[in-house]
């Protein structure tokens, strides 16, 4: 059907959301690259801090940037799924067989919190808390796996669970704030 100017109407999913496949494809590609970059940085930046969870800063900053800059409803899920897929590559050197599942749970938690608490999702503290809670999925999952199967995790053997949980939360919190701050600063510079 054509409009008054003779052009065809733009295809839409509904009256509110027009279809723009190119933008959606570029957003998904961006999220896949964000997830890949998060894992590459996590594996290749081997800073000997001897603190559990110190990679939470860069990982959560990247996932928060991906969540905030795209309109895709499952943005963090796509980024963490791409990160989990890359973890299966032998050249990455990841020896934890459960880590991909923990990353997928992280993405689900970020997306659910983003929509469940939509009233607060423009706040730096919100993204800090979500980043901290999401990055805590790794030690929580490891504790759960350790209890059920006895699979030994070195950071649980060297530190108490309270230390591991708190450091993962703090580094994830810092990463969430860093990601929010970077997007906020970029948006302010654009204006």
pLDDT on residue 140 = 95
Q: What pLDDT, on a 0 to 100 scale, did the predictor assign at position 49?
A: 76
CA-to-CA distance for 159 and 22, rounded, in angstroms?
Answer: 48
Torsion-angle region of 3 (φ positive above 0: left; ψ -120 to 50: alpha; else: beta): beta
Query: What's residue 4's pLDDT?
Result: 60
Assess if CATH 1.10.1760.20 describes domain 21-190. yes
What span, in angstroms and rounded, lies between the C-alpha atoms of 96 and 153? 9
- With the C-alpha atoms ordered 109, 112, 114, 119, is the resulting torsion angle positive or negative? negative
* DSSP code of residue 18: B
Alpha-carbon span 64 to 179, nearest angstrom: 5
pLDDT at 13: 52
Task: Note the pLDDT of residue 169.
Answer: 97
Domains of the chain, by residue range, sit at 21-190
| Amino acid 18: pLDDT | 59
Residue 2 main-chain phi, psi, to 5 deg: -110, 155
- Residue ranges of the chain whose pLDDT lies below 50: none
Cβ atoms of 135 and 60 closer than 8 Å: yes
Say which residues have a Cβ less than 8 Å from residue 57's Cβ, sequence separation at least 6. 171, 174, 175, 178
């Amino acid at each position: 059907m054509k409009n008054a100017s003779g052009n065809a109407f733009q295809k839409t999913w509904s009256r509110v959301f027009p279809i723009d496949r190119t933008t959606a494809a570029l957003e998904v590609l961006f999220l896949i690259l964000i997830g890949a970059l998060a894992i590459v940085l996590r594996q290749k930046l081997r800073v000997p801090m001897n603190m559990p969870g110190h990679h939470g800063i860069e990982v959560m900053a990247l996932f928060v940037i991906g969540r905030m800059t795209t309109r895709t409803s499952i943005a963090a899920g796509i980024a963490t799924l791409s990160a989990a897929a890359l973890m299966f590559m032998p050249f990455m050197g990841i020896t934890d067989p459960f880590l991909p599942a923990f990353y997928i749970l992280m993405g689900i938690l970020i997306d659910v919190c983003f929509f469940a608490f939509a009233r607060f999702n423009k706040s730096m503290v919100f993204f800090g808390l979500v980043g901290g809670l999401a990055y805590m999925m790794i030690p929580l999952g490891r504790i759960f796996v350790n209890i059920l199967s006895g699979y030994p995790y070195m950071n649980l053997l060297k530190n108490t669970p309270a230390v591991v949980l708190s450091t993962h939360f703090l580094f994830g919190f810092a990463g969430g704030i860093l990601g929010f701050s970077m997007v906020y600063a970029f948006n302010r510079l654009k204006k």
